[in-house]
């Protein structure tokens, strides 16, 4: 049961980023303009899309999940402070807290790793 819950948790925490990357791909101009409005160069959208696709997939399949989760935790904290730091706007405050909460979830993966249903699971050998 712990393996199933671990996998479901990894899928749920990663799904947001996969959906976000999909939306960015189909509204590149609008997203670039939005980023530039915060002083972030628009060309950084392309590595952002790559990060939002590759790292969540790694977390879901359990390949280098601790490293991927650590990078996504940093990504969440940076995006919270860059794009959602307007605490006078209730929506931005909620989005700030969402990103901080996601970073906390990723730090759990960094601390605990994944269970047995992962590519990087440690194989247990029995000596005969």
Q: Which tens digits make up the pLDDT trace of 83-103?
A: 999 999 999 999 999 999 999
What's the CA dihedral at 42, 106, 19, 36 to 10 degrees? -20
What total number of domains does the chain contain?
1
Distance of alpha carbon 9 from alpha carbon 55, whole angstroms: 15
The answer as to whether 51 is a domain residue is yes
The answer as to whether 117 is a domain residue is no
Reported as a single tens digit per residue, the pLDDT across 16-33 is 999 999 999 999 999 999
Average pLDDT of the chain, as a whole number = 94
The answer as to whether 125 is a domain residue is no
Structure tokens at 112: 């605990």
Output phi, psi for 124, to 5 deg.
Answer: -105, 120
The answer as to whether 128 is a domain residue is no
The answer as to whether 89 is a domain residue is yes
Q: What domain range includes position 97?
A: 2-29+39-112
- pLDDT reported for residue 127: 72
- Residue 98: name the closest of 13, 11, 5, 9 by CA: 13
Distance of alpha carbon 58 from alpha carbon 114, whole angstroms: 11
Residue 124 has pLDDT above 80, yes or no: no
Reported as a single tens digit per residue, the pLDDT across 57-72 is 999 999 999 999 999 9
The answer as to whether 10 is a domain residue is yes
Residue 123 has pLDDT above 80, yes or no: no
pTM of the model: 0.91
pLDDT band at residue 126 using 50, 70 and 90 as cut-offs: low
Q: Averaged over 114-122, what is the pLDDT?
A: 86
The answer as to whether 126 is a domain residue is no
Residue 125 has pLDDT above 90, yes or no: no
pLDDT band at residue 49 using 50, 70 and 90 as cut-offs: very high
């Amino acid at each position: 049961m712990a393996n199933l819950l671990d996998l479901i948790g990894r899928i749920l925490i990663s799904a947001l980023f996969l959906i976000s990357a999909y939306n960015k791909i189909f509204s590149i101009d609008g997203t670039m303009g939005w980023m530039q409005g915060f002083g972030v160069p628009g060309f950084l959208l392309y590595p952002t899309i790559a990060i939002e696709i590759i790292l969540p997939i790694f977390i879901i399949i359990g390949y280098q999940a601790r490293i991927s989760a650590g990078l996504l935790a940093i990504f969440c904290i940076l995006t919270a402070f860059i794009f959602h730091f307007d605490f006078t706007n209730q929506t931005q405050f909620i989005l700030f807290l969402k990103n901080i909460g996601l970073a906390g979830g990723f730090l759990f993966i960094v601390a605990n790793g994944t269970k047995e249903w992962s590519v990087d699971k440690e194989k247990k050998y029995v000596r005969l």
